[in-house]
Amino acid sequence: MAIMLGSSVVILTGAGISAESGVSTFRDNDGLWENHRIEDVATPSAWENNPDLVWKFYQTRRRQLLQVEPNPAHFALAKLEQGVDDFTLITQNVDDLHERGGSSNVIHMHGRLRTLRCEVSKKFEERMEEEDLQNHFLFCTCCAEPNRVRPDIVWFGEMPMHLEEIYEAVGRCDYFIVIGSSGHVYPAAGLVNVANSCGAKTILVNFENPANSFAFDEIHLGKAGEILPDLVNSWLD
């Protein structure tokens, strides 16, 4: 039964869907992020106190984009987008795998690795040429006198991007589907509560039960790349 045809669908994805493509996950079991403390590489104060370390850390992550590919879960979401009337994909991930998998209406609430942001004008620009991926600092093209750029990433202590657009989409959806998210990082983890309060059906697709699993109407456990394609087919066919 094609339950989602003609519906408004909002997706929220987290690190789990990217991990299946080989992208390093947010933090390891010991609390470290690729052997670094979060406070040392993912906060405004870290950028102020040791920009060289932060810059090299993110340049490594940006180069990693060239080594990973979308997995079946990304392609399944692109198929779902084509099959419903109103589709919004909100991602906590900073990679470009959703776009490369075929999704077009993607909101990156924590920023993007492909873009860099001018420290003065706050404008961002896509910088993924070979010369943009080295360890030396880069400078903007938007100012008369070029200024240093920073990673276009939401660090701890900074406000997530596009929140007004995100809450509007969740508030009007018929189905809210979370894929590969730990349920620990707010405000993303609280969006299921918004969806529930607005009468949407809430569905979880995750490798294991997250911290907020109790909030969902329907739960499917397993690797997204293995179970999501069949779920999408059941929702559309």
Residue 95: name the closest of 118, 70, 76 by CA: 70
Residue 204 belongs to what H/E stretch? strand 201-206
Catalytic residue flag (residue 36): no
Tally of CB atoms within 10 A around 208: 9
Q: What does the alpha-carbon distance between residue 89 and residue 103 come to, in Å, rounded to a whole number?
A: 8
Instruction: Give DSSP secondary structure letters for 107-133.
Output: EETTEEEEEEEETTT--EEE--SGGGG
Single out the catalytic residue among 36, 108, 110, 220: 110
Distances (CA, A) of 142 to 59, 133, 139: 21, 19, 9
Q: Which residues are catalytic?
A: 110
